[in-house]
Structure 1
Amino acid sequence: MTTAAAKPATADAASRARLLEAIRFDARGLVPCIAQQHDTGEVLMLAWMTREAVEETLATGRVCYFSRSRGGLWRKGETSGQQQRLVDLRLDCDGDTLLALVEQTGVACHTGRRSCFYRALRDGALAEIAAPEIAPEALYGR
């Protein structure tokens, strides 16, 4: 991982095309993408990308996902302001999972927590191991 100040990663059209050819999208045209804070290694979230989301992410340096519930592109932070800037995009050995090393602005989870992985098994029960840093209502104006 890099320790230098993060700057958005972008790629030219030829580089984007090479990566897109290597990605094994599923039958629905989706590939899972793990978002990880570039400097700490903290896993922030898992979301889905389509070819179009990968292309936009690589072209702009701002992470874009595909929302299965909304059926369209989801530009992380568009509503909440909690954006992810791409530092590096990596493809696993099977070509069927992406790892986005990002610089996260604010929280990553819609619950107001830094990471979506805030629950863990403790003493035989599912426990919350991280409190919200911001109220969801403040993120989305609800």
Structure 2
Amino acid sequence: MTILMADDLILRPWRANDEAEAQALFRYAKDPEIGPSAGWNTHADVQESAAIIRDVLCGAESYAIVLRKPDDKELADMPIGSISLQPVPDQVLHHIAAFESCEPGNTMELGFWIGKPFWGRGLVPQASRALINHAFDDLHLNAV
């Protein structure tokens, strides 16, 4: 279980079958400005959020974005967003000249979302730097 640290953040694995975790996800995923811009539908209820955690977010190299020292104690150890590395499909790699020298399976794309109350605070760049460093230093990827 990999846990990554950034200045203001902890990137930790998502917790399946955790009601508080599902509630935290639903708090932000029900916002119509979050999901559609990240490529997924707005969540309809907490049960949908729980299923997404279990079936999608608990995958390899998928991390909950958590504040290290939240002002609001209700946010302690609760996700405020998500960031992950996903394999770039081979058919996409073949159409991008910059990736000609990359081995399939050794190139990943970074995806993320963060709850609207946390926009504009520089948190996603922190999370991205931590995950990119992990990608190259620990996973030995060719490209992100």
TM range (shorter): 0.3 to 0.5
TM (norm. structure 2) is 0.32
Structure showing greater relative contact order (alpha-carbon pairs closer than 8 Å, 6 or more residues apart): 2
Give the number of the structure whose residues are more often helix, by fraction. 2
TM (norm. structure 1) is 0.33
Give the number of the structure whose residues are more often strand, by fraction. 1
